[in-house]
Amino acid sequence: MTNHIENYFSNIILSSKNIDYNKIEKLAYQLSNLRKKNGRLFIIGVGGSAGNASHAVNDFRKLCKIETYSPIDNVSELTARINDEGWDSSISEWLKISKLNNKDAILIFSVGGGNIKKRVSINIVNAIKFAKLKKSKIFSIIGKKNGYAAKNSNVSILIESQDQKLITPISESFQSVVWHCLVSHPLLQANKTKW
């Protein structure tokens, strides 16, 4: 057990050292501009990243005063869309009803970022395609540099893990680290935290 714990935390340290701080700064600037234009932010994640998306929605709304939503938060609509229309269009159809436009942005939380060939996270891929069609900004915090989100984002922050067996827990953990860095950034934070 000790070897796992040491390996896990040494990978956390390496991942932290390898994050491109300039890209986080660029994303903070982009989100500040989004707020100035009264644009909306849609945070998209599935699996564990869906939970992170819900938490991040709260922080961007409450601390940064950015109108923010997650398509995954309305479980009734999500499951109705999956049941009636299928998984692949579940997020893009939600974005259509929300009238995603060129003032808005989507922020993808994902380990792989979607892969058309492997048919993984196609609902994320279709959300990105729809955002491109609407000329919305596309941002991502991802664990793989060769996924659809990494290749199609205006700003993509890569969370690297040396141990590929740890890519999911480290990527999903660092989604939280990065968004908390953003919501406490002087360019973005409009309200103080309680503690």
Q: Where are the domains of the chain?
A: 2-183
Tell whether pTM > 0.85.
yes
Instruction: For residues 23 and 43, give the distance between their C-alpha atoms in angstroms, rounded to a whole number.
Output: 18
pLDDT number for residue 102: 98
Instruction: For residues 81 and 75, give the distance between their C-alpha atoms in angstroms, rounded to a whole number.
Output: 10
**What beta strand segments (E) does 61-129 contain?**
68-69, 105-110
Q: Which residues of the chain have pLDDT under 70?
A: 1
Q: Which CATH architecture has domain 2-183?
A: 3-Layer(aba) Sandwich (3.40)
Residue count of the chain, please give it. 195
pLDDT number for residue 1: 54
Residue 72 carries which side chain, given as an amino acid letter?
Answer: I
Residue keyed to tokens 């692949």: 88
pLDDT number for residue 141: 98
The four Cα atoms 188, 168, 130, 145 give a dihedral, to 10 degrees, of 90
Largest CA distance in the chain: 51
pLDDT digit string, tens, across residues 125-144: 999 999 999 999 999 999 99
